[in-house]
Chains A and B, each alone.
Chain A
Amino acid sequence: MSAVIENHHEDHDHGPAKGITRWLYTTNHKDIGTLYLWFSFAMFLIGGAMAMIIRAELFQPGMQIVEPEFYNQMITLHGLIMIFGGVMPAFVGLANWLVPMMIGAPDMALPRMNNLSFWILPFAFLILLSSLFMEGGAPNFGWTFYAPLSTTYAPPSVTFFIFSVHIMGASSIMGAINVVVTIMNMRAPGVGLMKMPLFVWSWLITAYLLIAVMPVLAGAVTMMLMDIHFGTSFFNAAGGGDPVLFQHIFWFFGHPEVYIMILPAFGIVSHIIETFSRKQLFGYSSMVWAMLSIAILSFVVWAHHMFTVGLPLAAEIFFMWATMLIAVPTGVKVFNWVATMFRGSLTFETPMLFAIAFVVLFTIGGLSGLMLAIVPADFQYHDTYFVVAHFHYVLVPGAIFSIMAAVYYWIPKWSGNMYDERLGKLHFWLSFVGVNVTFFPQHFIGLAGMPRRYPDYSLQFADWNMVSSVGAFLFGFSQLLFLFIVLKTVMGGKKATSQVWDGARGLEWTVASPAPYHTFSTPPKVD
């Protein structure tokens, strides 16, 4: 895509307000993007600290550091915070920063709602985290909050958990509506649907998924609320309800949620691999169709999370094959990334390293997912560390590596400064080694039968757990280096050019670095 920019500098053009009110009242997509990204970084560190507590307890068999009750609260909050506070807001932040610039729009379509959807988020997580200090402790039923564990047997703080999920849901829905309205109506002339950058495509599909399933999650927690406080029996067998129904409703939300956390990553990685291969992306339209088919399939595979509840054989076979079918479009994407790199003139700057690691490690996570899709095998693997290894492989070196890659790739555009390449590479290698040392051994202990969500384990799992904990500490503490690199880049450094990377394409690289407070007030001309 090439573009000609007319730089109209008129007198009424104004910059941001000064002081804290800039951030409180802002309706600027770049400011809100920054707020989302910093918020998600904070949540990433809090959720990461909880992971450190978990791995410290699991360093050796036996109970050493925390009480089992507290351990359960840690695994629950770690999951909720990383998913709803870490990964999702980070992607919304990236969408805020990038979608308007990539399609040549001056801002998001609904700037005030944009402000609201961010500013309710900190309150949601304050409510959730405050439950740690309540009588009976924080939620302790796992991030999947299966009823009746989360209703009949839940600590009193479950009500606060429910309201915080309501607020998170409202925030995501508003963010998603904003993205769809922006993409569908504010593209610059000449930016047709099949000319949109892939990150924009990935977010368009993600936003539709969010609008479809976040209300279902809100419904599920509302039913819990009614069961707990208003005497209904949605999930209470004694009153004619059904706990298995909870799992169906939850996973009807939960499986599309998995793709909500990975589709934007697909978009990001496509851009980065294209740039550092100095070639046009291989198979653009097949990438779009692959994402669309993954999104559609995500609605008909939910029961593969519940193979062991006693589904009829026909259902197990259907959900097994539907799940395996998802490997086809995913395989198309991996093929296209590799084909883009093939005979390209590759260079390995930090974003590219993260992107390549994404392709390799996400594929490992995808393949262990295929193993879990096989019904008889799943009976063996269900609720073991094999599952933990699987979803951490798709979420950490998958979603989170893509977010880190995106930060390194676009931070020169955001801040106007180049990051320190040496430190960036160091951060990459520490993270890469840390992630694999943490999660690869969990495949072994899972296959050997170690169940998940317990603070203690049998002696035969001791060695690999120790290895895994060492890797986790390495990965966890290297993220402080990431924080340092980001701060250092924001404060100063080598000035970045407009294009930043010599292979970079797309409208966002045609504006100055740092991107002016207002861009594309007049739409760019795109061929």
Chain B
Amino acid sequence: MNKGAKKTLIKLVVAVPLMFAFGFALVPLYDVFCEVTGLNGKVFQSEHSDDLIAEQGRPLSLQFISTNNENMPWKFEPSVKVLKIETGKYYTATFSVKNTTDKKMTAQAVPSVAPSNAAAHLKKLECFCFEKQELMPGEEALLPVKLLVSNELPSNIKNVILSYTIFDITDYNDIELANNQIVME
């Protein structure tokens, strides 16, 4: 093989793992892109800042929706379905949740905001969705979310919907293993 061919070959062989890595790089890039633009209705944890507080807010209706993923048996619903709020002020909303089964289960709530261009202006200081929820059989809980809608929300938006889907993320393999061990002991 001549020298030129070797050079071309090396360049191309290097390009392949680079493009493979690029495929994986798309994952964090996508998250960053969504965070910056607020697309995809994704909401991330925000820090408190005095700039967010507004003396004169405008009225807004904040609607809560809860959904159970697949066969998730828990009872999961917002305490209030619609909250009349003002931009630039903190509010705390709660969701009631109950493990209706006789097993210890773990759940994860995944949020989404509609319309998607409101997502960047919805600031969550605390949210149950930032953590896993573990409930014993029959246990109930009230899950809080502390949020503020910034004054910079586009003025054509009069209604913001915050929805949560609750997923069952219990590791059933571990439970079976644990049960087996109990039986064996």
Interface residues of chain A, those whose CB is within 8 Å of chain B, are: 109-110, 173, 176-177, 180-181, 184-186, 211-220, 223, 234, 237-240, 242, 244-245, 248-249, 252, 310, 312, 315
Contacts and interface: CB of A to CB of B under 8 A. Distances in A.
Given A173-B16, A216-B20, A242-B30, A185 B165 contact: no
A187 B121 CA distance: 59
A214 to B, nearest CB: 8
Interface residues of B, number: 33
Contacts of B167: 237-238
Given A181-B5, A216-B22, A312-B116, 12 more contacts: A109-B5, A177-B12, A215-B18, A218-B20, A219-B21, A219-B23, A237-B69, A237-B165, A238-B108, A245-B27, A248-B26, A249-B26
5 contacts: A185-B4, A215-B22, A223-B23, A245-B26, A245-B27
A212 B15 CA distance: 8
A312 B39 contact: yes
Contacts of A310: 116
Contact of A185 (B2, B20, B39): B2
B9 A213 contact: no
A248 B19 contact: no
Nearest to A113: B9
Given A238-B167, A248-B30, A181 B9 contact: yes
Contacts of A184: 4-5, 8
Given A219-B24, A245-B30, A211 B19 contact: yes
B117 interface: yes
A249 B23 contact: yes
A479 to B, nearest CB: 35
A111 to B, nearest CB: 10
Interface in B1-44: 1-2, 4-5, 8-9, 12-13, 15-24, 26-27, 30, 37, 39-40
Among A181, A186, A245, chain B packs the most CB atoms within 10 A around the CB of: A181
Nearest to B166: A238
Contacts of A109: 1, 5, 9
A211 B12 contact: yes
Given A240-B110, A312-B117, A215 B27 contact: no
Give chain B's interface secondary structure class: helix
B13 A177 contact: yes
B169 interface: yes
A234 B27 contact: yes
A186 to B, nearest CB: 7
B16 A211 contact: yes
Nearest to A180: B12
Contacts of A245: 26-27, 30
A215 B20 contact: yes
Nearest 3 A/B pairs, CB to CB = A219-B23, A238-B167, A215-B19
B9 A177 contact: yes
B20 to A, nearest CB: 4
B8 to A, nearest CB: 5
Nearest to A170: B16
A252 B13 CA distance: 21
Nearest to B165: A237
Interface in B33-67: 37, 39-40
